[in-house]
Amino acid sequence: MRSVETPEFAGMVFHEVRARSILNKVSGKSALPFRWTINPYRGCSHACRYCLAGDTPILLADGRTRPLAELRVGDEIYGTERQSSRRRYVTTRVLAHWSTVKQAYRLTLRDGTQLIASGDHRFLTDRGWRHVAKSAERRRRAVLASGDKLVGTGHFAVAPKQTVEYRSGYLSGVAGGFGEPSEPRVLQRVREYLTGEDSISLPVERPLVPSEEWRKGFVAGVFDVDGEFARGDLLVARTGRANVSTICEALLRMDFRFTVEDLGHRSGVQRIRLRGGLAEQLRFLHTVDPVRTGDGELAGTAIKAADRLAIETVEPLGLEMPMFDITTGTGDFIANGVVSHNCFARNTHTYLDLDSGQDFDTQVVVKVNAVEVLTAQLRSPRWTHEHVAMGTNTDPYQRAEGRYKLMPGIIRALANSGTPFNILTKGTVLSRDLPLLREVSADVPVGLGVSIALVDRDLQRSLEPGTASPQARLELVRKIVDAGLPCGVFVGPVLPGLTDSVEQLDALLAAISATGATGVTVLPLHLRPGAREWFATWLAREHPELVPSYRQIYARGANADIRYRRWLGRRVGPLLRKHGLAGNEDRSMRKEEPTWPKGSLVSIPEQAASAPQEQLELL
């Protein structure tokens, strides 16, 4: 419907939408103890603050480039993902595209590449993701510095203009190739050049002194007939001897390195192999612009950092200008030859794991008709009044709720229909609705859960920027219990070597016990992709001495090693018993998955409900 920025929510953009449905069915394969969820908001922690100038060329899945401003949802482009020990190029899709206005910075690399970006944008270096500039809110974050090596291929070459000379060269290359054009797109280009505006007449003669544009067209034409991708190389294969000298001269003038291989054929057929790896392959494709660019041919190639991609300068331009950004399936894209972070929203634009330190500079999608749609869905004769969970994907009591006040209507609609529900949050806005929650708890079962990771305020500011303080969340638990409602506490994430000492856990559990919480579950840090990279960068900067132990504990994936989990269980068990919080929770630490704390769920025995960490995205 509209996008809104307000002074009281500085740095946030609310996208108001009308939703068709509010009740979301959980996948049948999920281990969660409920089948339905409600998410009145969809937030993403990176949003449009991470953006680039609209003319920045973006690498498409067909090998060509397109300006960032001209990308559209659904376009296939290249991103990256980690495969085994290496990060490699993969194809992905544009899931969202938008624009904003931001202060502009110019990045200049050693090879001459220039990029215009906002200060909040991030690029991948050989030492991890780095922001362009320091935060205006004075939050600590890793920023680019002179000498940092970016990861990628280097700047993209400019495609040739479709001049008469280029088209004449292209037709000469197609006609002179050893093979025959069979690719429909090649035949279509030939037809356009022969019959379209400023058409070329046959026969096409080679000029005595070819121009640069003619040479580019000629090489493109030969490649479209005889070229191929093979074993990571770009080949102009099975080329007649008559063409070899013309091709070699053109490649030399364009400063390409190559080898000529004799295939031992009586006809004199030879093969030209381009050297220089992926960077030179892309430069070839962009410089001569053949039709056959090889859809997805680069997938699987490992990305690299290089001295030529080192940062020379990062300078503010002293002006605001339009910026653009996208969301992709991989969380990144290739901007003018370097790996660029995008809005990290998933396809559903859900919250990220805030406990892993993702920024809280949110763009929030607000389903302004949530109450109206939910009321209609609950009236359906097909609705069986099953337990509904809120807060396991997006926090219903995030800051936006203070403005839109959707939860009171949602709570009333659920209660009026006889539907039990539970809420998990780390937002203190919930205290506003305590009188209502107490009222409806007389009609339907209600479960409430609050996550509290630690009591160290300085560490909390660093890891959970923008969230309520531990003290505020402890007070929220106390208010919930004083209102006569159950409240289970998720102690998570426990950070190995940082918050897992006996002293720290004892202090936190003592504070939780003092609130009267009905149950506690302890969750070790869960490092899912995306959060893993951010946390690794933060850890190397703030606590480098812990990096080796984290590599060992999280060597096998997102979950902590089972040996660490068992060790943590043995440490936590006596403390839970000491503070009267044990119940069955200490024994649950020996299981593969911890249980939901008593009071946080309804309709089922809490001790029987496992809490798979990868599903608890809020935590």
Domain spans of the chain?
Answer: 47-150+314-341, 164-288, 391-608
198 burial (CB, 10 Å; 0-12 / 13-18 / 19+) is exposed
Distance CA 296, CA 285 (A): 13
Distance CA 397, CA 29 (A): 28
pTM of the entire predicted model: 0.51
- DSSP string over 382-417: T-----EEESSSS-TTSTTHHHH--HHHHHHHHHHT
pLDDT at residue 75, as a whole number = 92
pLDDT at residue 568, as a whole number = 93
Which CATH code fits 391-608? Answer: 3.80.30.10
Torsion sign across C-alpha atoms 461, 463, 464, 469: negative
Token pair recorded at residue 321: 């200008």
pLDDT at residue 363, as a whole number = 60
Distance CA 500, CA 485 (A): 29
pLDDT at residue 553, as a whole number = 93
Distance CA 348, CA 401 (A): 19
pLDDT at residue 253, as a whole number = 93
pLDDT at residue 462, as a whole number = 62
Bridge partners of 236, per DSSP, are 227, 272
Q: Which residues in the chain show pLDDT less than 70?
A: 6-12, 27-32, 43-51, 100, 136-140, 231-232, 238, 240-242, 266-268, 343-363, 393, 460-467, 528-534, 583-594, 603-619
List the end-to-end C-alpha distance of the chain, in Å, as a whole number.
30
Q: Which fold has domain 47-150+314-341?
A: Endonuclease - Pi-scei; Chain A, domain 1 (2.170.16)
* DSSP strand pairing (388-390 vs 421-425): parallel
Q: Which fold has domain 164-288?
A: Endonuclease I-creI (3.10.28)
**For 182-276, where are the alpha helices, taking DSSP H only?**
184-195, 212-226, 241-253
* DSSP strand pairing (388-390 vs 36-38): parallel
pLDDT at residue 30, as a whole number = 54
Distance CA 145, CA 313 (A): 8
Q: pLDDT for 11-23, tens place per residue?
A: 567 778 898 899 9
Q: Are 430 and 397 in contact (CB under 8 A)?
A: yes
Distance CA 59, CA 303 (A): 14
pLDDT at residue 29, as a whole number = 55
